[in-house]
Amino acid sequence: MSTRSDPLFPAGARFEAAKPGISGENMRSSFGARLDEVLQSRGSLCVGIDPHPALLAAWGLGDDVDGLSRFAEVCVEAFGTVAAVVKPQSAFFETCGSGGIAVLERTITACRDAGALVLLDAKRGDIGTTMAAYAHAYLDPSAPLAVDAMTLSPYLGVDSLQPAFDAAERHGAGAFVLALTSNPEGPQVQHARGMDGRSVAQAVLDSVAARNAGAEPFGSLGAVVGATIAGADIDLTTLNGAFLVPGIGAQGGTAEDVRRIFGGALPNVLPSVSREVLRHGPDRSALRDAVARQIEAFAFLRG
Amino acid sequence: MSTRSDPLFPAGARFEAAKPGISGENMRSSFGARLDEVLQSRGSLCVGIDPHPALLAAWGLGDDVDGLSRFAEVCVEAFGTVAAVVKPQSAFFETCGSGGIAVLERTITACRDAGALVLLDAKRGDIGTTMAAYAHAYLDPSAPLAVDAMTLSPYLGVDSLQPAFDAAERHGAGAFVLALTSNPEGPQVQHARGMDGRSVAQAVLDSVAARNAGAEPFGSLGAVVGATIAGADIDLTTLNGAFLVPGIGAQGGTAEDVRRIFGGALPNVLPSVSREVLRHGPDRSALRDAVARQIEAFAFLRG
């Protein structure tokens, strides 16, 4: 893989990266290429680390920094070496303030050491220098919370996320933009239509697709699209990027839903499970078995 | 200062706080009431703490935890006792990971000790237990990052933010929902129209307004509406809550813009300035003078 042309780092950029003082992280291949590779080798699955109070209690852990830390350690030990992508949910770490964020830092490092790509579910979105700060915080390898990719929210307009798209390109990182979600409250915003007749969700997808155009194997910018969207008049064929598909398992989405909704883009689908796996903890073997079953259930995506 | 009535802890709350097992924080009056009181006593102004790299450099500080910490300390010393509301921008603290979040914790405490209400600009938005976790992280007084109010982003639908609205009510906290912003990328989402013909921004405002109905002096849920929105066909008269109005000063918005756009709701307007004040630092007197000028410029809101 390392010898082929890398669309995110044309020759000039690579030359710059070779200068002293530039981190080796800047030399890594694009997120799209790295994601493609790990989906191929580990199977198409993203597993969440969602230490919410009910799960902490079920695992016999306290709803505090120590509980968070133990929960995350068990997750990494159980599936960090088998899941293609691990997705910590930032909110649950933020509840414990700086202590929780320190756990998040260690969790990110441990996941990456285990060979998983780390996608931080943070749903950040802002404008200008503030958006650039979020991009730096999570996509710049020099930052303490640097991950492989993050989720973004486009209420301020997709183009307001440009500093994150730029950072992703610069650092070989990725971003998944909320487009069309399965929750019942989503259509109020996502199905609304602009002057050109397109829905907000379609406009988001089109905007991300334009940025991914021509990238191989696919672009580093993805979209979040629910597994149980119903009756949505949306074109999922042009993204040329990955679809993060939450809502699988405990939230009602099935492999059949994925097959039906993403028919034309199955190899680009990244199904995301959380509770469906985590309810089997804290037993590591049971967690690992649950992950294995999900990987098997979605083997058809790249079969 | 210590002998006058403290708008953050009216007599009733102090009494309740003395009871065993009941946290004084839980008994405090509503955010709407506390905001109304502090706007009356200090004037209508929200001042940002936005330690972005260019400002840190201009203040002779490093772009690191120590620089963040010094920047925030100077801000609190300069205007914590004079600004009605202080608004730390979460993104800039997140860039330094857990160390930055520890600075944010100290900054929040220091602002509140100085008598300002703290509004965390975080633009969080999610669903279900994840949204509940964000609400707990920032609106529950028992959490390390508890503030008086936070900003929220409604891309997943306003109703998906309900756990935050519930937490606000439970804890006497507040929330400001992004509605109609001034950035050029915003209309793509915010001007799109739903089946009923309303724009997304109007639907957001109406949804927040419904929750504020009947509250006195006004409700604890606010909306973010830019100071330089142009040609927007939107009804700003029914919110019965505060409008957080960014884009003042360095971003082009003026007192005249505010007067024109919010004509029918001026007492509920909370103008927000950041760079327009912060560019005068790190000299504390110069910062304080800049805040005083802005308070004076917006005195007409409650004149």
User: For all residues of chain A together, what is the average pLDDT?
Assistant: 90
Look at residue A267 and tell me whether its pLDDT is greater than 60: yes
Catalytic-residue membership of B123? yes
pLDDT at B96: 98
Chain A hits for B92, Cβ within 8 Å: 130, 133
Mean pLDDT, residues B276-302 taken together:
97
Residues 6+ apart with CB under 8 A from B298: B43, B44, B45, B255, B258, B269, B271
- Taking CA–CA distances from A192, the nearest residue in chain B reads B194
Residues 6+ apart with CB under 8 A from B86: B46, B47, B48, B49, B75, B76, B79, B80, B111, B116, B117, B118, B119
Would you call A107 helix, strand, or coil by DSSP?
Answer: helix
Q: Per the CB < 8 Å rule, is B203 touching A188?
A: yes
Cβ–Cβ contact B217 with A under 8 A: no
Q: Per the CB < 8 Å rule, is B159 touching A188?
A: yes
pLDDT, greater one: A8 or A193: A193
Mind listing the pLDDT tens digit for each residue in B166-220?
A: 999 999 999 999 999 999 999 999 999 999 999 999 999 999 999 999 999 999 9
> Which tokens hold the place of A177?
């933009």
Distance CA A4, CA A29 (A): 10
pLDDT at B248: 85
Marked catalytic residue, from A28, A34, A42, A123: A123
Distance CA B154, CA B255 (A): 27
Residues 6+ apart with CB under 8 A from B36: B217, B218
Q: Per the CB < 8 Å rule, is B144 touching A99?
A: yes
> Which tokens hold the place of B152?
């929220």
pLDDT, greater one: A206 or A232: A206
Cβ–Cβ contact B108 with A under 8 A: no
Residues 6+ apart with CB under 8 A from A140: A146, A167, A171
Look at residue A262 and tell me whether its pLDDT is greater than 50: yes
Distance CA B260, CA B269 (A): 12
| Closest approach of A98 to chain B, Cα-based (Å) | 5
Look at residue A251 and tell me whether its pLDDT is greater than 70: yes
Look at residue B295 and tell me whether its pLDDT is greater than 90: yes
Chain A hits for B145, Cβ within 8 Å: 94, 97
Mind listing the pLDDT tens digit for each residue in A145-156?
A: 999 999 999 999
Look at residue A104 and tell me whether its pLDDT is greater than 60: yes
Distance CA B295, CA A188 (A): 37
Interface test with A, best of B64, B103, B177, B188 (most A CBs within 10 A): B188
Cβ–Cβ contact B125 with A under 8 A: yes
The answer to whether residues A153 and A124 touch, using CB atoms and an 8 Å cutoff, is: yes
pLDDT at A136: 98
Would you call A82 helix, strand, or coil by DSSP?
Answer: coil
Neighbours of B190 (CB within 10 A): 29
Is ipTM > 0.95 here? Answer: no
pLDDT band at residue A229 under the 50/70/90 scheme: confident
pLDDT at B24: 46
Q: Per the CB < 8 Å rule, is B189 touching A189?
A: yes
Neighbours of A53 (CB within 10 A): 17
Element (H, E) at B16: helix B11-17
pLDDT at A250: 72
Look at residue A171 and tell me whether its pLDDT is greater than 90: yes
Mean pLDDT, residues A248-274 taken together:
90
Q: Per the CB < 8 Å rule, is B156 touching A192?
A: no
Look at residue B3 and tell me whether its pLDDT is greater than 60: no
Bridge partners, residue A152, by sequence: A124, A177
Distance CA A265, CA A237 (A): 6
Chain A hits for B153, Cβ within 8 Å: 123, 125, 153, 155-156
Distance CA B162, CA A101 (A): 25
Chain A hits for B137, Cβ within 8 Å: 91, 94-95, 97
Look at residue B17 and tell me whether its pLDDT is greater than 90: no
pLDDT at A22: 37
| Closest approach of A195 to chain B, Cα-based (Å) | 7
Distance CA A228, CA B188 (A): 25
Q: Which of B67-81, B171-185, B189-203, B229-243 has the lowest mean pLDDT?
A: B229-243
pLDDT band at residue B28 under the 50/70/90 scheme: confident
Distance CA A39, CA A47 (A): 13
pLDDT at B8: 32
Distance CA A277, CA A78 (A): 11
Mean pLDDT, residues A235-247 taken together:
95
- pLDDT above 70 covers a percentage of chain A that reads 90
pLDDT at B251: 75
Mind listing the pLDDT tens digit for each residue in A20-37?
A: 333 444 468 999 999 999
The answer to whether residues B86 and B49 touch, using CB atoms and an 8 Å cutoff, is: yes
Beta strands at B149-152 and B117-124: parallel, antiparallel or unpaired: parallel
What's the pTM value of the predicted model, to 2 decimals? 0.91
The answer to whether residues A79 and A288 touch, using CB atoms and an 8 Å cutoff, is: yes
Interface of B with A in 56-85 (CB under 8 A): none
Mean pLDDT, residues A51-71 taken together:
98
Mean pLDDT, residues B74-96 taken together:
98
Length of chain B measured in residues:
303
Peptide bond into B10 cis (omega under 30): no
Longest CA–CA span in chain B (Å) reads 56
| Closest approach of B57 to chain A, Cα-based (Å) | 14
Helices H / strands E in chain A, number of each:
13, 8
pLDDT band at residue A172 under the 50/70/90 scheme: very high
Question: From the centroid of its chain, how far is CA A281?
Answer: 22
- Across A170-183, b (16+ Cβ under 10 Å) vs e yields ebbbbbbbbbbbbb
pLDDT at A230: 65
Bridge partners, residue B49, by sequence: B88
Beta strands at B174-180 and B149-152: parallel, antiparallel or unpaired: parallel
The answer to whether residues A295 and A45 touch, using CB atoms and an 8 Å cutoff, is: yes
| Closest approach of A117 to chain B, Cα-based (Å) | 19
Distance CA B294, CA B151 (A): 22
Chain B hits for A137, Cβ within 8 Å: 91, 94-95, 97
- Candidates A180, A165, A54; CA nearest to B189 is A180
Interface of A with B in 268-287 (CB under 8 A): none
| Closest approach of A212 to chain B, Cα-based (Å) | 19
Interface test with A, best of B106, B145, B155 (most A CBs within 10 A): B155
Residues 6+ apart with CB under 8 A from B301: B44, B258, B266, B267, B269, B271
- Taking CA–CA distances from B104, the nearest residue in chain A reads A98
